[in-house]
Amino acid sequence: MKILKPISVAFIAALTLAGCGTTKTVTTTTSTAVKAVKESSIITATDSISPKTGKMTEAQIQAWPHMDVFTDSVPGMSLDKAYAFVKDKKGTTVIVGVIDSGIDIEHEDLKDVVWVNSNEIAGNNKDDDNNGYIDDVHGWNFLGGEKGKSVPEQLELTRIVKKWMPRFDSKNEADIAEADKADFKLFTELKSTIDKKLKTAKNTVEQYTSYKQAITMVNDTLSKILAGKEINLENINAAKFDDPALQQGKMILMQIVSSGSNADEASKGLDGAIKHFKNQLDSQYNINFKGRLTKDNPNDITDTNYGNHLVIGSIDDEMHGTHVSGIIAATRNNNIGMNGVAHNVKIMAIRAVPDGDEYDKDVALAIRYAVDNGAKVINMSFGKGHSPNAEWVFDAIKYAAEKDVLLVHAAGNSNENIDTAENFPNDSKDKLVEFADNVLTVGAMTRHFDDKLVASFSNFGKKNVDVFAPGLEIYSTVPKNEYVSIQGTSMAAPEVAGVAALVRSYYPKLTASQVKHIIMDSGIEFNNQVIKPGSKGEKVSFDTLSVSGRILNAYNALLLAEKMSKK
């Protein structure tokens, strides 16, 4: 499932958008070598830095992930300094595979950075390069479907319950054989979760629909009463209504306006929230929903002849992959929209993440596709809590490691400790020992260099999250040549993928494992306490929430890569 949290209006509980695990016990000498060379000049300590005070402008907030903590007191990745460092160096082109919901490859700020398969002839309905994929000019769509159509899906827990219903439905524990009791326990728990989620979704859709109707009605009424005057807090408060519905709408609208928003923005936010929960009702938690469009067997990894070349997806419903791609590589310095982290990058579009949970088979084959077609970095801003065919994905991760490809994965937005909570895909079967050393798992942080540094929704883990990166108020591309700010570990992962692409562009001889440890070991320190995600104000040391205990920094990563390349 896409790792992103939908942003809501002030009176709605935050619905944010959003992903995984890393260094435990690894057989490698990379980290030790890194530490030996970094101590001479790379500055990571920030004990003397005071957090930025005063209100930031909208433009500053949109640019905060690229700022420098030492000059701006904002924990960005020091991107200007990074580019100044490599301005006289020649970089090579790096292909970054983006496994996601689909990408608007026609976007004004992305069209020039889209990967083109030079061995494929567009539109001739032939597999010109004999890689098994017909007309895969810009990537591949493992979800199938018609051009511009979204692909709703069930969550994995719903698929598990549906599969096991013939075994366990309407049965008591006494009826279950000893060998089946573990499965029965899981089935019972998951079925209970589905029932609760469906009830909550139904109630929320009704509640938010009522809110929207009330807001619309009172706003229309006020527009007539005020006859062109501003609908501000003072004028709303002065209005008198006898109709209880209008009075309720007035109170809601006052909350919205006092938060700095307005009726139109609130209505859009409510539309998104209603759609979010309606999707839960209609597909994600719907046992009877049939979503697979590709006619393959998702439980047969050898059945690979499926999907199509239509990588854009629905530009109305699937903005996630476009936003992620812009963070990594939106064309820099073209006076359009925003700047991506990395230049010298081509984005390979791989559509494998539906509006629901991705299939393990699609993820495994998507990784292999990216690797086989030249990607050196792969961004994976998705995740789920159950993975019935996890071995297929594990094998694909190992395959990527053998081919020297770095995978960057979002840690997830459940404010959980994924040292204990299940989170897939990952690079360790027991959450202790990695089976590969080419996966970076990324938590999300804010622009506040104080106890609010860690995003409240972000997953964490001393053994299974590698590093933190900007993931709140992240401005980037969305379909139809537009740009928005959203949040999630889905946004933090591509910040890291962009830096990894920069390093691999200027220092192509460094291995995926070396780049991983360079990013972790060159990060900025924060030797203070932060509010623990998911807690009611509990504070913990920041360095207990990830393996590195550090914050992504592009400038330091390039400095360290330079030193490593000379060793």
Q: Could you confirm whether 66 is annotated as catalytic?
A: no
User: Residue 424 has what DSSP assignment?
Assistant: B
Q: Are 448 and 410 in contact (CB under 8 A)?
A: no
Annotated catalytic residue: which of 138, 309, 320, 517?
320
**For residue 53, what are the contacts with CB-CB under 8 A and spacing of at least 6?**
none
User: Residue 17 has what DSSP assignment?
Assistant: B
In 86-158 the beta strands, taken as DSSP E runs, fall at 94-100, 139-141
Q: Are 533 and 458 in contact (CB under 8 A)?
A: yes
Q: Are 475 and 483 in contact (CB under 8 A)?
A: yes
The Cβ of residue 260 has, within 10 Å, a number of other Cβ atoms equal to 8
Annotated catalytic residue: which of 476, 490, 505, 522?
490
Q: How far is CA 539 from CA 48, 180, 309, 461, 462, in A?
A: 21, 42, 48, 15, 15
Annotated catalytic residue: which of 127, 195, 271, 303?
271
| CA–centroid distance for 351 within its chain | 14
Give the bridge partners for 551, in sequence order: 468, 524
Radius of gyration of the chain (CA): 24
**For residue 190, what are the contacts with CB-CB under 8 A and spacing of at least 6?**
157, 160, 161
Residue corresponding to tokens 């913990």 = 540
Tokens of 382: 């998705």
Q: Could you confirm whether 427 is annotated as catalytic?
A: no
Residue 467 has phi, psi (to 5 degrees) of -160, 160
Give the bridge partners for 379, in sequence order: 98, 408
Q: Could you confirm whether 448 is annotated as catalytic?
A: no
Give the 3-state DSSP-derived string for 163-214, with helices as H, strands as E and coil as C.
HHHHHHCCCCHHHCCHHHHHHHHHHHHHHHHHHHHHHHHHHHHHHHHHHHHH
Residue corresponding to tokens 């982290």 = 341
Amino acid of residue 247:
Q
Residue corresponding to tokens 């969305």 = 478
Q: Are 340 and 372 in contact (CB under 8 A)?
A: no
Give the CA diameter of the chain: 79
Q: How far is CA 101 from CA 227, 298, 313, 324, in A?
A: 45, 18, 7, 10
- How many angstroms separate the CA atoms of 372 and 348, rounded? 12
Tokens of 444: 């999300």
Long-range contacts of 556-559 (CB under 8 A, 24+ apart): 556/42, 556/43, 556/44, 556/78, 556/522, 556/523, 556/524, 557/82, 557/499, 557/502, 557/503, 557/518, 557/519, 557/522, 558/82, 558/85, 558/86, 558/502, 558/503, 558/506, 559/41, 559/42, 559/85, 559/522
| Residues forming the active site | 271, 320, 490
